[in-house]
Amino acid sequence: MFSPTRPLELSQLPRGVPQPHRASSVAQNSEPGPEPEQGFTQTPSQAQQVPNSELSTWRSISIVASSFTIVFTCCGLNFAFGVYQALYEAMAQEPKTPFTGATPAQIGLIGTISISLMTMGAPFAVAWAKRFSPFLVSLVGGVIFGLSLVLASFGTRLWHFVLTQGLLLGVGTCMPYMAAATVAPTWFTSRRGLAMGIILAGTGIGGLVWAPVLKALISGFGYRNSLRISGAVSSILIAMCSTSITWEAQTQTRIHMENASREARLNGIFMVPLLDWRIAKSRKFIAHGLGAMFQAAAYYTPVFFFASYARTLGYSDAAGANFIALSNACNAIGKIVIGFGADRMGRVNALSVTTLVSAAITVGFWLPSTVYGTSNTSRDLFIAFTVLYGLFASAYVSLFPTCIVELFGVQNFASVNGVLYMVRGLATLVGTPLGGVLIRGQSGLAGPSAYMNMSVFVSVLLFTATAATLWVRLESMMGMDGRRSFKWKV
């Protein structure tokens, strides 16, 4: 079972011990508790401790379940965009459609903007969650998420979809996703990697479920009704789960103290807290930021083009959707299994190893697949790439926030997490469209070789990200005296 952080520790302290700036309980963590009388000491009975422990355990389970469902819905639909990518590319070859004459890169901009804004807006989403509440931020984001898909269903031009299914959907994804991803790690210590692995496996499981569902909806009701149905369902799911997204007790108390120093909550609503300059200029932060940037620039490119590339190998549109589902299934398995292993081998170690393996997989399987044409060898290589890339490349996403806690501490997690997620969003906004531009010709008419430049581009970015994660590994061994001492588990 998961091991929550402060709530269990607080419940085991004697009642008479002063606990300044601590929340009174897990269940009522919105207001600081009253100070106990000095000098009065009473050891809590076992009967008193058990309910608190049980409450903390169930609270942790609730956080994991709700956060998982939010990620499953928001990110899962984004990860299933490949279904729409392939559909819109096919429509681009037909007359009188919203996408007639559009290139793969132009169509890919829809999904790229959405995925990019999912993390680019992180500093604002985190700041709003601290200033108001993560529940409110997640709830409003869920409404925007559903509305964006419904509005997209009425689009008649490519730019209509860029604004709705791209820009607005990205904002609607960012708010609940960042609320969940920032709140959840503060509730766990020894099993933080496993907890975040389960939560962020929602991207893979969501893509696994949503890809065939969207394909079935499009086949049965048309793509416009598919957008409307998925928008309504997703908005309801996010709203229901937002009620459980609350700060851990000690974090809540610290945030209350910060908010108390402001004259009004609306003051500086579009300003975000600046990152501590000592952290920002540290080699550890620079290395982790570079790794985040290069990995994000590469990571989503294959995910968005799985279905399109599969079509160049002779697979049907339905088979292309199945490749997306297969990748997302492996995505979920990789995050959970590697997250579990990372708690034992070290989260920074796991981050470096999985990034290196994902780079080797790309150059070892996808690149050769683009060379052999439409042969069975090319298909086999692509299947292997789909499985292995889903298992290892996706693990970076779940290990990334846990490593931030390891490297910079819980007290700096929210600010560092927001800034580095923004870096990842900016990198995605540049990397994925650039990868789309590297496709030679119209992907619907070209063969696998048209994707050779894209595969090389992704490989180079991932190897560069690996170098940055190894730098983080070295910096994490630096002691307070400025000397490095070897540690295996980092």
- Structure tokens, 39: 């000098």
In the block, residue with structure tokens 């709140």? 183
**Least confident interval from 180-189, 360-369, 381-390:** 180-189
SS3 23: strand
**In this structure, is residue 471 part of a structural domain?**
yes
Give the phi and the psi of residue 188 in degrees, each rounded to 5.
-135, 155
pLDDT in tens, 38-71: 433 344 444 344 344 444 677 778 889 999 999 9
Nearest to 244 by CA among 52, 414, 62, 54: 62
Amino acid in the structure at residue 420 = L
**In this structure, is residue 58 part of a structural domain?**
no
Amino acid in the structure at residue 5 = T
The yes-or-no verdict on residue 9 having pLDDT over 60 is no
Is residue 139 within 8 Å of residue 239, measured between CB atoms? yes
Span 317-321, mean pLDDT? 78
Between residues 402 and 151, the one the model is more confident about? 151
pTM listed for this prediction: 0.69
Query: Strands, DSSP E only, in 76-190?
Result: none
Nearest to 114 by CA among 37, 196, 177, 36: 177
- Tally the domains of the chain: 1
Nearest to 165 by CA among 67, 70, 80, 233: 80
Cβ contacts of 13 within 8 Å, gap of 6 or more: 19
Give the phi and the psi of residue 4 in degrees, each rounded to 5.
-65, 160
- Give dist(CA 70, CA 179) in Å, integer: 10
**In this structure, is residue 300 part of a structural domain?**
yes
**In this structure, is residue 325 part of a structural domain?**
yes
**In this structure, is residue 203 part of a structural domain?**
yes
Cβ contacts of 131 within 8 Å, gap of 6 or more: 259, 262, 265, 269
**In this structure, is residue 33 part of a structural domain?**
no
Residue 392 lies in domain = 64-475
- Structure tokens, 356: 């290196």
Is residue 161 within 8 Å of residue 47, measured between CB atoms? no
Nearest to 107 by CA among 448, 443, 454: 443
Cβ contacts of 42 within 8 Å, gap of 6 or more: 14, 15, 16
346 half-sphere exposure, CB direction, 13 A CA radius? 13
**In this structure, is residue 400 part of a structural domain?**
yes
- Give dist(CA 199, CA 197) in Å, integer: 6
* CA geometry: angle 430, 205, 172, nearest 5 deg: 50
Residue 111 belongs to a domain with what CATH number? 1.20.1250.20
Is residue 468 within 8 Å of residue 290, measured between CB atoms? yes
Span 105-122, mean pLDDT? 86
pLDDT band of residue 383 (cuts 50, 70, 90) is: very high
pLDDT in tens, 407-448: 887 777 777 878 888 888 889 888 888 888 888 654 444 688
In the block, residue with structure tokens 């980092």? 490
**In this structure, is residue 9 part of a structural domain?**
no
Give the phi and the psi of residue 12 in degrees, each rounded to 5.
-95, 0
* H or E, element range at 364: none
- Give dist(CA 162, CA 164) in Å, integer: 6
Span 82-110, mean pLDDT? 88
